[in-house]
Copies of this chain bind each other. A is one copy, B any other.
Amino acid sequence: MDKFISADKKVVFEKKMDSLQQNLHRMGGLVEEAIARAVQALKTQNLDLAKAVIEGDDAVDRLELEIDQKCLELIATQQPMAKDLRRVATLFKMISDLERMADHATDIAKITLRIGHEPLIKPLVDIPRMAQLTQKMVKQALDAYVLEDIELALAVGRDDDEVDHLHGQIFRELLTIMMENPRTITQATNLLFVSRWLERISDHATNIAEKVIFLVTGEIKLLNE
Q: Which A residues are within 8 Å of any B CB, using their own CB?
A: 65, 68, 71-72, 75-76, 79, 81-82, 85-86, 89, 92-93, 96, 175, 178-179, 182-183, 185-186, 189, 192-193, 196, 220
Contacts and interface: CB of A to CB of B under 8 A. Distances in A.
Nearest to A176: B185
Contact of A178 (B65, B81, B92, B182): B182
A65 B220 contact: yes
B182 A186 contact: no
A81 B85 contact: no
Contacts of A189: 175, 178, 189, 192
Nearest to A89: B72
A192 B65 CA distance: 33
B193 A186 contact: no
Contacts of A79: 79
Given A92-B93, A186-B175, A189-B189, A76 B72 contact: no
A26 B92 CA distance: 23
As for how many copies of this chain the complex holds, the number is 2
A118 to B, nearest CB: 15
A177 to B, nearest CB: 10
A67 B176 CA distance: 45
Contacts of A92: 89, 92-93
Contact of A75 (B65, B75, B96, B185): B75
A179 B184 CA distance: 9
Contact of A96 (B71, B96, B183, B193): B96
Nearest to A177: B185
Contacts of A65: 220
Nearest to A99: B207
A160 to B, nearest CB: 14
A96 B185 CA distance: 35
Contacts of A193: 196
A87 B219 CA distance: 27
A175 B75 CA distance: 51
A225 B67 CA distance: 22
A102 to B, nearest CB: 14
Contact of A185 (B68, B71, B185, B196): B185
